[in-house]
Amino acid sequence: MTKNSPHHQSFWSGLSLGVIVGGSALALFGTKKGREVVHKLLDISENFEDVASDFIGNVEDELKEQVGPAIQTRGVTAIESLMDKIQSVLPEKVK
């Protein structure tokens, strides 16, 4: 009988979770007030998406203005030094 105990516990846990999720879905989509709540949540999420994308765009612009020139200058000098090293190691072509 102790073997069946975990099985019964998981059954009741699943049943309880199903009742809670089903009841919540019914309350949100089955009633007028619930649909109003869903519409408000959707409006908030759309506004959040717009605000977040604007914020990310502003952060990217600021980073490009402040850090971009340093990265580009440093990258160019690093590439130039790498090219010089490669050319110094390669044998010269005979014409």
pLDDT at 16: 93
The CA-atom distances, in angstroms, between 36 and each of 40, 41, 75 are 6, 9, 54
Separation of alpha carbons 23 and 36, rounded Å: 17
| Count of residues making up the chain | 95
What are the helix and strand counts (H, E) for the chain?
3, 0
The CA-atom distances, in angstroms, between 58 and each of 39, 69, 70, 93 are 29, 17, 19, 50
pLDDT at 3: 57
The pLDDT tens digits along the chain (95 residues) read 455 566 678 888 999 999 999 999 888 888 899 889 889 988 888 888 788 888 888 888 888 787 766 665 555 667 777 778 887 887 766 55
